[in-house]
Structure 1
Amino acid sequence: MQSRATRRSFLTGAGAAAVAGLAGCSELDSGSGSGSERDGGVTDSGGSGSRTLTMIDWSYVYSNDVIAEFEERHDCTVERQAAQGSAETLAQLRTGRADYDLVPLGNYAVTPAIEEGYLQPLDLDQVPAYGAVFDFLKKDYFERDGDVYGVPRSFGQTPLAINTDLVSREITALADLWDPELDGLAGGRDDARLQALYRNAVVGEELNPTSVDDVDRGALRSDLVDRLELTGGLWNNGGESEQLLRTKQVGVQPVWNYVIQAMQAENVPIDRVFPEEGTKAWFIQFTVREGAEHPDLAHTFIQEWFTEMGYESLMAPSNIAIPSDRVFDERNVDRSTFGLDDPEQFIYEDPKPRELVEAYSRTWSEAKAEANV
C-alpha cells in the first residue's frame, strides 16, 4: 500500500503542476447520440440491383437516404451488418465469420488484419479522393510493400468533459483523473488498452510499447488501481458516457467529442478541455476484405464517401469529421470546429501484438478486482 500511495502522490503532483490545456473550440449546432446504442442486425435499404455490396460497420454512420441514392446510382443493393467494435470485427475475420466486401476497422486493428492476410491492397487509382485525405492520418502501418490497405473514413477525438455543476476546480490534464480531490467524480471508458495509454501519457512512459517485456505490469496495475479507486463510473459506449455526466454520477471523464457537442447543444453544463498530455484521437479506416465478391463496387463506395456521401451521412448530423481537405474546403468548415487546427495535440493507440493486448486485459481485470469496481 505504501508504494501505491507514493505513486499516487507522483501522479497527483503531475496533475497539480499541469498548465492549462487548449480551450474548447466553437461548437456545432447539432449532435447525435452514440451509434453503439442502436440495434444490431442486418440492414437492407431495399435496393433491387443485380449486385449486393456487403459491409459491416457501426449503424449510426450511414443514413438510409444516402445508401438508397448510392444503390440507385449503381444499380445495386447495399447490405449492412451492425458492428460492435473493431476488436470484434477482427475476431470475426479470424474465425471466417466476416465475409463482407467492405470492412471498416480502427487504426489499431488494421495492422493485424494485414499481417494475417484478411485484407487486400487498395487500388488507389479507383479512389482519387485519397489524395485529399489528411496526410497526418496516412500512417505507415496501413502500408505493406508500397501498397495501401486502409483509407481513413472518419476522425474523432476524446477530450475531457467536465460537468461544471459538480467540478469547480480547474481541470487541465489527464493526470487530474488521479487527484484525490476528485474522489468519486472521475469516470472513464472500460477499456484496458485505452486506460494503459492514458496512464502511460501521465507518467511519461512510452505511449505504445511493442512488447510485453517493455511493460512493468506491477507498476501499471498499481496505477490503474489508484485510478479506479477514485472512479464514480465506467462506460462502454457513447450513450453510457453521456448518461454518467447528465445524471451527475461522474463530473469529469474523457468522452468522445461529438457526445460533448451534443450535450452542449442542449445547454448541459459541460466544458471541454484538451488535456496537456495530448488528446486521444481515433480514426476508422475503410478496408476491403481479401476475397471480397465486389471489390470494384467497394472502391466506388469509398470514393463517393468523400465526394458525395460522408458529409451528409455522418459529419453534418453527428459532428464526426470526414478527414479530407476536400470535404472541409467544399463545405466551408473551419478545422478548429473539430479540434483539427492543431494535429500535433493528438495521441494515438497504435497497433500492438496480441500478447501485449492480452497482458493489458489481464492487468485491467486484476486492477478492477482489487479496486472492487
Structure 2
Amino acid sequence: MTKRLLLTSLLALTAGGAMADEIRVLNWQGYGTDLDWATEAFTEATGHSVVHEYFTSEQEMLTKLRTNPGAYDVVLINAAFTRQAKDEGLIGPIDTSGMKNFDTVSESFKEGELVIDGDVYGVPWTWGLTSFAINTNAFEDAPDTIQVFWDPAHEGRVSIRDDALEAVQFGALATGQDVNEITDLDVVEAKLAELMPQIRTFWSSENDWNQFMAAGELDVATYWSGSAARSADMGLPVQFVVPKEGAVAWLDGLSVPDSSTKKEAAVAFIDWMIDPEFYVKWDAEGAPASANAAAAEALPDDSFNKQVLGDPEVVMRIQFQDPVDDATREKYLALWQGLKARQ
C-alpha cells in the first residue's frame, strides 16, 4: 500500500473505527463553526467533512429542525431554547464520555439549562452579553448608564436590534427590572415608546450593525459582546459598554439532533469546537467568551474576553437569560410590533 493510500485510509477512520462522514451543521453564519481554517483542520484530522446551513433567528432554527428530520448533525442552540428543543424531541442526549475536552468545561455551565435530568442536551460552548457599544468618535468618555439612549444629544443616532425579546429586556434593564421577572410591562412599554423618536434605524444582523457604524450613522447601539470584539478588530471605532444597570447574559450550546445518523462524527466535531487550542485562535479573531475554563485561562491578558467578561465587577451586574415560554414571547412580540407601528 502506498503512503498516499495509507494516509487516506487513516483519515477515513474516526474514533470508534467509523468511516468518515459528511456532517451538516446548523448555526448562525460566521459564528465559529464555519471558520475555514477550523473545519479544514478537523477534516484533515478526522476525515469528516463539514457542510453548513444557516438560520437568522432561534424560531427559524427550530422550524428547520422540525421540518427537516435527519438533515442536521450539529446545531447551535441558545440555552433558553434547549429545553423546548428537547421536549419536542428535536435533540437527543449527548454521550460526553469520549470527549477529551468536556471535563474542562466550567462546572457552573454544566448546571444550567443545557443539562436536563442529568443528561447533556447541549455542550456548553460560548457565552456573552447583550448590552451596547458606542461610536468612540461621538463620546469623550464612555457612558456608564443605559439612559444614554434617551439623551437628546443623540437623537436620530441610536439603534437597537429589531427583536421583540431583546427590546423588552432592554426596556426592563432601563426601568430597573429583572429581565426574567418583569413585573410592570406597561412601564417597559412606556419607556420604549419614549425611545422611538431617538432611533435612526433598527438592525437585524452583525453585518447591518457594522455598515451603519462604519458609515458614521450611529452614536450608540445595542450589541453583543463577541460581535463588538469582532467589529473593533475590523478597525471600527467602537467600545463595548456594560452599564451600571447591567446586561443580559446568554449561553450557547452545541447539540445533536435526535434524528442525526452521524452522531459519533457530530460529537467529535463538538469536541473539536470546545478545544482550548481552537478557542484561543478564534478569540484573536473576535470570539464570544468560552464556556471552557481551560480555554478562558489560556487567553492572553489583553484579550477582550479576559479583560471585560473576566472582570468580577462586570459579572456581578449581569443577568443570565432564562427560557421564555411561547405565551410570553407572543406578548412581547405584540408590544414590539405595536410600538413600531406607532413610530
TM-score by length of 2: 0.83
Count of residue pairs brought into register by the alignment: 321
Change (3 A) 1:170 1:351: same
Matched, 1:352 2:324: yes
Change (3 A) 1:326 1:231: same
Using CA pairs under 8 Å that are at least 6 residues apart, name the structure with larger relative contact order, 1 or 2: 1
Of residues 217, 225, 242, the one that matches 1:257 is 225
Deviations 1:158-193 (A, max 9, x none): 343222433457621223323344322221111110
Q: State the match for 1:245 in structure 2.
A: 213
Deviations 1:328-372 (A, max 9, x none): 33455565335223233322332111111111111101001112x
Bigger shift: 172-181 or 195-204? Answer: 172-181
- 8 Å CA contact 2:276, 2:295 repeated in 1: no
Q: State the match for 2:204 in structure 1.
A: 236
Partners of 2:77 and 2:70 lie apart in 1 by 12
Partners of 2:308 and 2:71 lie apart in 1 by 34
- Give the counterpart letter for 1:51 in structure 2: D
Q: State the match for 1:368 in structure 2.
A: 340
Runs of 4+ in structure 1 displaced over 6 angstroms? none
- 8 Å CA contact 2:20, 2:46 repeated in 1: no
Q: State the match for 1:278 in structure 2.
A: 246
Deviations 1:68-88 (A, max 9, x none): 232232233322212323321
Provide the alpha-carbon RMSD of the alignment: 2.7
- 8 Å CA contact 1:157, 1:282 repeated in 2: yes
- 8 Å CA contact 1:66, 1:313 repeated in 2: no
Q: State the match for 1:220 in structure 2.
A: 188
- Give the counterpart letter for 1:183 in structure 2: E
- Give the counterpart letter for 1:319 in structure 2: A
- 8 Å CA contact 2:280, 2:299 repeated in 1: no
Matched, 1:183 2:155: yes
**Gap regions ≥5 residues in structure 2:** 1-10, 13-18
Percentage of matched positions with identical amino acids: 22
Q: State the match for 1:311 in structure 2.
A: 279
Report deviation, 1:290.
1.0
Q: State the match for 2:7 in structure 1.
A: none
Q: State the match for 1:82 in structure 2.
A: 54
SS of 1:233 mapped into structure 2? strand
**Gap regions ≥5 residues in structure 1:** 1-46
Q: How does 1:286-325 map to 2 (within 5 A)?
A: 286-307=254-275, 310-311=278-279, 314-325=282-293
Partners of 2:37 and 2:142 lie apart in 1 by 44
Deviations 1:180-219 (A, max 9, x none): 443222211111101111111221223114xxxx765544
Q: How does 1:31-110 map to 2 (within 5 A)?
A: 50-60=20-30, 61=32, 62-96=34-68, 99-110=71-82
Deviations 1:95-133 (A, max 9, x none): 346731111111222121112221111212123422222
Deviations 1:29-65 (A, max 9, x none): xxxxxxxxxxxxxxxxxx9864222221233223223
Partners of 1:84 and 1:272 lie apart in 2 by 23
Bigger shift: 355-364 or 269-278? Answer: 269-278
SS of 1:199 mapped into structure 2? helix
Partners of 1:262 and 1:50 lie apart in 2 by 33
- Give the counterpart letter for 1:325 in structure 2: A
SS of 1:172 mapped into structure 2? coil
Partners of 1:218 and 1:331 lie apart in 2 by 43
Q: State the match for 2:3 in structure 1.
A: none
